[in-house]
Amino acid sequence: MYLSDGEIDDSLAAPLHGYPQGEDILQHFTTQGFSGARLELAEIMLRELDQELKFLDAGLEEHRLKRKSWIIERKFYSSSNFLARAGGKEGCYQIQLSIGTVLIALSTSVELCSLQENSSTAVLATQYSGGATSIESLFPSVTESSQVGEEALGLALDVCLLLYFHELAHVIHGHCDYYFHNRNASSDEMRALELDADFNAGTMFGLWVQALPAAYRKPKDFEDFVKRLVRSSFLLSTIMKAVSERSANYHLPSNRMIFFMSGGAFAFDRTDKSPKFQNDEQGNRYWDDKVSTYTESIKAALGRSSLKQFLANERDIESDYQEILNVTHGVRDFLKDGPLMKFRLNE
């Protein structure tokens, strides 16, 4: 049994050996017409992500899993759909990512970065027609892999890391075992598990991304760190709401972003990166200002993009937030302080 994010597909092909390469992309993305620079860009993205995940997996194995005799396998699958999922029980788990997940993250990042004001990649902003979106048509106007630039590639990598941390949170915080033993869990319980995974993914992002080996991937400073988490969590939440067959179990992107950010704020406080606040109200105002500042450009770009129809969901943001406060928070606290305690990976 898996906790899945994206387009549920139980007929996934066999896992790939290593990270996906050109021949895998060509074989499973036959309608995209990949060749030349677009194929090269896809290969770069997949290679960079695999290197980062290998580095993080090794640290997790050394510092957390080995002493508890837990095993978490990470597998790439050849599906062109957006799909990430985690499953297993009793210390033996698997996290699966499709090729489509990674390339959709890249495609949407390329589009939104190109649509920001004064973008250096504005030439890529007019690449969609006939109702196509950047989820369905993958960076079709790229003619040189270098056109995309570090901003879009970095955003796409951050989105994928945050998604991986979300799946990892399902494993190490006991969600997979709980779901295995409670397969008829209610919608409220599933939403609570998703938000708990969001919070813990934000914490992992805040603790681990600074250790990435590539110099260009290390946050330049605290503000850069916060900006990256805000933007990647908003884009990831938007993509998952757009593509998931379980979208009814998701709260709206802006509200999910708050949970990712809450986890990040916890990590920043724990590592003495953020200011100290006199009270919760002062802290909430500080983080609200950060979210507002760093979502402004990406929300504006989304409103001009092929994905603009998904902004309509944000109209109901206040009622959705009230549901979080009145329902989801309580269910999450009950699960976290009760049945999940016996399943999670303890220190």
pLDDT at 2: 80
Higher pLDDT among residues 186 and 15, named by residue: 186
Judged against a pLDDT cut of 90, whether residue 153 lies above it is answered with yes
DSSP E strands, 78-123: 83-89, 92-98
Best CA proximity match to 335, nearest among 200, 201, 204, 173: 173
pLDDT at 246: 58
pLDDT at 254: 85
Q: What digits encode the pLDDT tens for the residues 220-271?
A: 999 999 999 999 999 999 998 888 755 666 788 888 999 999 999 999 999 9
Q: CA–CA separation, 330 vs 123, rounded Å?
A: 47
Best CA proximity match to 78, nearest among 33, 19, 31: 19
pLDDT at 252: 84
Q: CA–CA separation, 237 vs 159, rounded Å?
A: 9
* C-alpha torsion angle, residues 42, 48, 50, 51 (rounded to 10): 160
Please state which of the ranges 25-34, 55-64, 147-156, 288-297 shows the lowest mean pLDDT: 25-34
* C-alpha of 297 from chain center: 19
Q: What digits encode the pLDDT tens for the residues 63-115?
A: 999 999 999 999 998 888 898 999 999 999 999 999 999 999 999 999 999 99
Is 106:153 a contact under the CB 8 Å cutoff?
A: yes
Would you tell me the crossing angle of helices 280-303 and 222-243 to the nearest 10 degrees? 60
Q: What digits encode the pLDDT tens for the residues 283-320?
A: 999 999 999 999 999 999 999 999 988 875 556 888 88
Q: CA–CA separation, 53 vs 44, rounded Å?
A: 14
- Strand bridging mode 2-6 / 83-89: antiparallel
The domain segmentation of the chain, as residue ranges, is 2-342
The total of other beta-carbon atoms located within 10 Å of residue 129's CB is 9
Judged against a pLDDT cut of 80, whether residue 128 lies above it is answered with no
What contacts 165, CB < 8 A, 6 or more positions away? 200, 201, 202, 204, 205, 208
Burial class from Cβ neighbours inside 10 Å (0-12, 13-18, 19+) for residue 55 reads middle
* C-alpha of 280 from chain center: 27
| Per-residue CA distances from 91 to 5, 37, 55, 87, 210 (Å) | 21, 42, 21, 11, 28
| Residue at token pair 């500042």 | 293
Is 105:160 a contact under the CB 8 Å cutoff?
A: yes
Question: Which helix H or strand E contains 183, and what residues bound it?
Answer: none
Calculate the average pLDDT of the chain: 91
- Could you tell me the pLDDT band of residue 11, with boundaries at 50, 70 and 90? low
3-state secondary structure of 4: strand
Structure token digits, residue 214: 């590539």
Stretch 197-211: mean pLDDT: 97
Would you tell me the crossing angle of helices 222-243 and 99-114 to the nearest 10 degrees? 120
Portion of the chain with pLDDT greater than 90, in percent? 74
Q: CA–CA separation, 308 vs 314, rounded Å?
A: 11
